[in-house]
Amino acid sequence: MNTYVIAAALIKNKEKYLIAKRDSQKEFNPNEWEFISGFIEEKETVEKTILRELIEETNLKGQIIDSGESTSILDKDTRWIIIPYLIETNNEKFEINPSDHSEMLWVKAKSLKNYKGLISFIKIFENEGWIK
């Protein structure tokens, strides 16, 4: 079984949250919706990772408001260790990086469960008290 460690962010702007649809050429979960996330690079803190990913994937800047407990998710033959962050941004005008995503949307909390691929992450963010 392979194990990967990633930082994942719930990006908030007012009362909406940013979600992104993975590019069709992605190795893991192509065409599924996700929250902004990324692998931790060598000699990089988790905080730097998630803020870097936010800029790389959306061209948005944000402020870390909170961090949560790491959580393990099993997906087929892969274990994902997720380190969650709540990030707030004052700018809702994102730029899609086409090598990562095909679409992005700002969505109200009550609508998040309508998007395939988000459920495991929604549970993590709900457990942290960030989504109600």
Q: What local confidence, expressed as pLDDT, does residue 23 receive?
A: 78
Where exactly are the structural domains of the chain?
A: 2-127
Structure tokens at 2: 């392979």
pLDDT at site 32: 85
Q: What is the pLDDT of residue 89?
A: 97
Measured distance CA(120)–CA(125) in Å, rounded: 9
Q: Which residues of the chain have pLDDT under 50?
A: none
Query: Tokens representing 77?
Result: 């033959």
- Residue 132: C-alpha distances to residues 78, 109, 117 (Å): 29, 7, 19
User: Which CATH number describes the domain made up of 2-127?
Assistant: 3.90.79.10
Tokens of 126: 């709900």
| Residue 81: predicted pLDDT | 94
User: Residues 73, 2: contact at Cβ < 8 Å?
Assistant: no
Model confidence over 48-61: pLDDT tens digits? 999 999 999 999 99
